[in-house]
Amino acid sequence: MSTISVPVSVPSPAEDCEQLRKAFQGWGTNEGSIISILAHRSGAQRRQIRDSYAQAYGEDLLKVLDKELTRDFEKAVLLWILDPPERDAVLANEALKKWSPNNRALIEIAMTRTADEMFAVRRAYRGRFKRSLEEDVAVHTNGDFRKLLVPLVSSYRYEGPEVNASLAKSEAKILHEKIEEKAYGHEEIIRILTTRSKEHLLATFNDYNNEFGHPINKDLKSDPKDDFLFALRAIVRCIICPERYLEKVIRLAINKMGTDECALTRVITTRAEVNMKHIKEIYYKRNSVRLDHALKKDTTGDYEDFLLALIGQDA
């Protein structure tokens, strides 16, 4: 569930634009005002504000924000204003430009969006970057990672409940066999993890557990430092419970020395309107600390205020 709160009597886009314009004028910028408006508008409202601003002042709001704001706060606000598909496209492109095997953003995006949402991302990517997402993923990755990530971002998984029980069982066996052989990049592992439906995979992971006495991720942890194994485990965890996976991303981002703002911004801006509430609950259960308290300790200034507003915990 969303953690965004929109005021009951919301100002018109024109009024919002006027307030935003005031916030930019004069020396410095009134960040508080910007947050109080933008963090409390839905996607449709934010789009209307962008359009109104362009009409009223002949400028692209995004460009103005780029000029007026700085650093982590700016990055978060710019991502927040975009439509979800465009946002994910921008995040994917960023991730690819500086891709390395321990980059988790692509997997996170590919595994926590629905099949139709992923196609919207691919459409937005083509529109913005004049290339397909998969062609850029292919070019910027290599070896086993390419073999895994290209199908992952290109899949259009079936989303219904039907499961072929005997097939799920046999595929659990196949996964186990290849994992035993340490053939982690084997075609069969990639085929099963990147093309099968979520329901089928849940059944498969269940069968794996029943047949072999422990979860598949235990066997995939033979080398905790191996990035490819991490990627496979991430896929499994996102199938089983995406919110728990995302909670861990946030937890690690906060606990990391110096905080991983990149990951923090990414998860919060992309999930605030989707399932942030659930993620907060898991965070509290797991850490016995509320997410807003953790953020207050770990982040500062306008960036902190903005994140708190997005998770519904401002003022």
Partner 1 sequence: MDVPLAAEECEAITRAFSGLGGLGVDEEALVSALGKWRHQPEKRAQLRKSFAGFFTADGGFERFEDDYIHYLKIEFARFKNIMVLWAMHPWERDARWANDVLHKAHPFDIIVEIACTRSSEELLGARIAYHALFHRSLEEDVAYHVRENFSNLLVGLVSAYRYEGDSINEEMAKSEAKTLGTAIKSAGVRNLVENGEVIRILTTRSKPHLRVTFKYYREMYGKSIEEDLGDELCLQETVQCLDSPPKYFSKVMDETLKDGADKNTKDALTRVIVSRADVDMEEIKAAYHEQYGAQLEDVIAMKTLGNYRDALLSLVGQ
User: Residues within the annotated binding site?
Assistant: 24, 26, 28, 68, 254, 256, 258, 298-299, 304
What's the CA gap between 232 and 153, in Å, rounded? 14
| Residue of 60, 135, 180, 211 that binds partner 1 (CB under 8 A) | 135
Closest among 35, 87, 92 to 65, alpha carbons compared = 35
Closest among 160, 161, 138 to 149, alpha carbons compared = 138
158 interacts with partner 1 by CB under 8 A: yes
Cα-Cα-Cα-Cα dihedral sign, residues 32, 92, 43, 20: positive
Q: What would the two tokens of residue 107 be?
A: 């997997």
The distance of closest approach from Cβ of residue 191 to partner 1 in the complex, given in angstroms and rounded to an integer, is 5
Q: Would you say 305 and 314 are in contact if contact means Cβ atoms under 8 Å apart?
A: yes
Q: Would you say 296 and 304 are in contact if contact means Cβ atoms under 8 Å apart?
A: yes
The distance of closest approach from Cβ of residue 51 to partner 1 in the complex, given in angstroms and rounded to an integer, is 24
Please choose, out of 76-84, 133-141, 219-227, 240-248, the segment that lies near partner 1 by the rule CB under 8 A: 133-141
Cα–Cα distances in Å, from 11 out to 2, 22, 49, 83, 122? 21, 15, 11, 20, 33
| Residue of 7, 32, 160, 301 that binds partner 1 (CB under 8 A) | 160
132 interacts with partner 1 by CB under 8 A: yes
Residue where the block lists tokens 């066996």: 173
Cα–Cα distances in Å, from 5 out to 19, 36, 43, 90, 272? 19, 10, 12, 25, 10
Q: What would the two tokens of residue 164 be?
A: 């072929």
Please choose, out of 152-160, 220-228, 274-282, 307-315, the segment that lies near partner 1 by the rule CB under 8 A: 152-160
| Residue of 162, 181, 214, 225 that binds partner 1 (CB under 8 A) | 162
| Residue of 18, 66, 117, 134 that binds partner 1 (CB under 8 A) | 134
| Residue of 7, 12, 22, 156 that binds partner 1 (CB under 8 A) | 156
150 interacts with partner 1 by CB under 8 A: yes
- Find the helix packing angle between 61-68 and 43-57, rounded to 10°: 90
What's the CA gap between 65 and 39, in Å, rounded? 14
32 interacts with partner 1 by CB under 8 A: no
Known binding-site residues for Ca(2+) equal: 24, 26, 28, 68, 254, 256, 258, 298-299, 304
- Could you count the other beta carbons within 10 Å of the beta carbon of residue 281? 14
Binding mask 280-299 for partner 1 (x = CB under 8 A): --------------------
| Residue of 47, 146, 244, 290 that binds partner 1 (CB under 8 A) | 146
The distance of closest approach from Cβ of residue 171 to partner 1 in the complex, given in angstroms and rounded to an integer, is 9
139 interacts with partner 1 by CB under 8 A: yes
> CB-wise, 32 or 143, nearer to partner 1?
143
The distance of closest approach from Cβ of residue 162 to partner 1 in the complex, given in angstroms and rounded to an integer, is 5
Q: Would you say 64 and 21 are in contact if contact means Cβ atoms under 8 Å apart?
A: no
Task: Find the binding residues for partner 1 in span 172-201 (CB under 8 A).
Answer: 187, 191, 195-197
For partner 1, the binding residues (CB under 8 A) are 119, 122-123, 126, 130-135, 138-139, 142, 146-147, 150-151, 154-160, 162, 187, 191, 195-197
